[in-house]
Amino acid sequence: MAARLGCVVQVLLLLGPAARGPAPARAAKMKVVEEPNTFGLNNPFLPQTSRLQPKREPSPVSGPAHLFRLSGKCFSLVESTYKYEFCPFHNVTQHEQTFRWNAYSGILGIWHEWEIINNTFAGMWMSDGDSCRSRSRQSKPLLRFCQVELTCGKSNQLAHVSEPSTCVYALTFETPLVCHPHSLLVYPTLPEVLQQRWDQVEQDLADELITPQGYEKLLRALFEDAGYLRAPGESHLTQHDGGSKSLGFETLESCRKAHVELSDEVQRLTSLLDQHGIPHAQPTENPHAKHLGQQPPIGVTSEQLRGDPGLRGNSL
Ligand SMILES: *[C@@H]1O[C@H](CO)[C@@H](O)[C@H](O)[C@H]1NC(C)=O
Ligand SMILES: *[C@@H]1O[C@H](CO)[C@@H](O)[C@H](O)[C@H]1NC(C)=O
pLDDT in tens, the chain (316 residues): 444 444 333 433 344 444 344 444 444 445 444 444 444 444 445 555 556 889 899 999 999 999 999 999 999 999 888 999 999 999 999 999 888 878 889 999 999 999 999 999 999 999 999 998 765 555 677 899 999 999 999 999 999 999 999 999 999 999 999 999 999 999 999 999 999 999 999 999 999 999 999 999 999 999 999 999 998 876 555 444 443 333 344 555 666 777 777 777 777 777 777 777 777 766 544 444 444 444 444 444 444 444 434 344 444 4
| 165 vs 149: CA distance, rounded Å | 16
Q: How far apart are CA 196 and CA 293, in angstroms?
A: 29
Is residue 88 within 8 Å of residue 70, measured between CB atoms?
Answer: yes
Residues with Cβ within 8 Å of residue 129, at least 6 apart in sequence: 55, 92, 106, 107, 108, 109, 110, 143, 144, 145, 146, 167
Report the DSSP beta bridge partners of residue 109.
Answer: 92
Cα–Cα distance for residue pair 164/144, rounded to 1 Å: 12
Indicate which ligand has the atom closest to the C-alpha of 72: 2
Distance CA 220, CA 204 (A): 15
The CA 312 to ligand 2 mean position distance, Å, reads 52
Residue 249 confidence (pLDDT) = 42
87 ligand 2 Cβ < 6 A = yes
As to burial, measured by CB atoms within 10 angstroms (0-12 exposed, 13-18 middle, 19+ buried), residue 121 is buried
The secondary structure element, H or E, covering residue 270 is helix 248-275
In this prediction the pTM is 0.62
Residues with CB under 6 A from ligand 1: 1, 118
CB-ligand 2 contact for 260 (6 Å cutoff)? no
Give the closest residue (by CA) to ligand 1 atom 9: 118
CA of 118 to the centre of ligand 1 (A): 6
Q: Tell me the three state secondary structure of residue 117.
A: strand
The residue whose C-alpha atom lies closest to atom 3 belonging to ligand 1 is 118
Give the strand order in the sheet containing 168-175.
75-79, 82-87, 91-96, 105-117, 120-127, 145-152, 168-175, 157-165
Which residue's CA is the nearest one to ligand 1's atom 5?
A: 118
- The candidate with the shortest Cα–Cα distance to 105, out of 96, 118, 117, 115, is 96
Q: How far is the CA of 63 from the centre of ligand 2 (A)?
A: 20
Buried b / exposed e across 59-77, counting CB within 10 Å, b at 16+? bebbbbeebeebeeeebeb
- Rounded distance from Cα 150 to ligand 1 centre (Å): 17
Q: What's the distance, CA 205 to chain centroid?
A: 21
Ligand 1 closest atom vs CA 4: 13
- CA of 52 from ligand 2 middle (Å) equals 9
List the residue whose alpha carbon is closest to atom 5 of ligand 2: 72
